[in-house]
Homo-oligomer: A and B are copies of this chain.
Amino acid sequence: MTKNQSNIKCRIAVDAMGGDYAPKNELIGALDALKDSNDFELLLVGDKEKIISTARENNLDLDENLIYHASQVIEMSDTPTAAIKTKPDSSLVVGAKLVKEKKADAFVSAGNTGAMMAASTLIMGRIEGVSRPTIGATFPTVQNKFCMVFDAGASVDSKPQHLFEYSVLGTIFAKEIYNTSNPTVGILNVGEEESKGNELTFSTYKLLKESKINFRGNVEGRDILKGTVDIVVCDGFVGNIILKFGESVLTFLRTRIRNYADKGIVNKLKALIVKSVLRASLSDMDYQTHGGVPLLGVNGISIIGHGSSSPLAIKNMILRAKEMYDKQLIQKFERALKEYAITK
């Protein structure tokens, strides 16, 4: 793994108060990450007393010097932009500020997603060349590699320039994190022909065709799981709906199999086999292993987790943040945004 130029240990701030099971899952996950790799510095941002008492209750061996006190908490039900103004000493705002003030290199939170996006964007600021930060949804494919969809809901009403930026950020991410050489990019559309779709897809097609992106034209809804391309770009409205639809497929399957199992003892036994086979075959759909959803385009490493993040999910988010730092992703994003725009 490439070391960051400065050769200084990565400092990762973790929102200890975010998430439905905070601070417990956050503490366990963060300490597990430290056990896996002592090659980073941990900052647990949140209510000091609460963190210490939770550590005691769970017999966790916690060095209190790791705690960075923040007196307030942004709740899941809070309105994002309002909350980051009215709760300036919340763990979420404080964590983002640590990155802004160069006291941390990355910030990880399983708290209020909207507030995390707003705090990261407004406090950390954007990388030069980025008009809008974006989050990517990672889908499994029949080819056993990943397909990432940008934007998966950071914003709606995108312009072609935004989709171009998503293409660049996604290309670098797939190259560095998934080791995909020369990642391919497609525009999500209702047909493959250049003339298909709406004004956004039509203009984006022209823009990507002229750029240095490894552009493969339009792709359809079926191409995501097929893995036709590595990166799919679209407006956050469509991306978010596909992400949530995709997540609901596993719940749907589980419910159907449970209903099947309820119809007698033979069915129950068969259903057990089905569950174990699906678990083995679809292991790459487990959100816990994905290391959260990075908010790309902000000037710092910002990783957003599911509200219900398990300790394993928290640990992997932290290790992903470390990987992004070690591989100098922010610097590479900035460079790529300049390079890729040049007309062929």
Contacts and interface: CB of A to CB of B under 8 A. Distances in A.
Interface string A186-200: 001110000001110
A206 B143 CA distance: 44
A274 interface: yes
Contact of A274 (B226, B236, B277): B277
A221 interface: yes
Interface stretch (A65-73, A81-89, A251-259): A251-259
Nearest to A225: B252
A178 interface: no
A336 interface: no
Interface string A243-275: 111111101100111011000000100110110
19 contacts: A144-B259, A156-B190, A156-B198, A220-B240, A221-B240, A221-B245, A224-B245, A224-B248, A225-B251, A226-B251, A237-B238, A238-B238, A242-B245, A245-B246, A256-B281, A259-B281, A260-B277, A270-B273, A273-B273
Interface of A: 140-142, 144, 153, 156-157, 188-190, 197-199, 220-226, 234, 236-238, 240-249, 251-252, 255-257, 259-260, 267, 270-271, 273-274, 276-278, 280-282
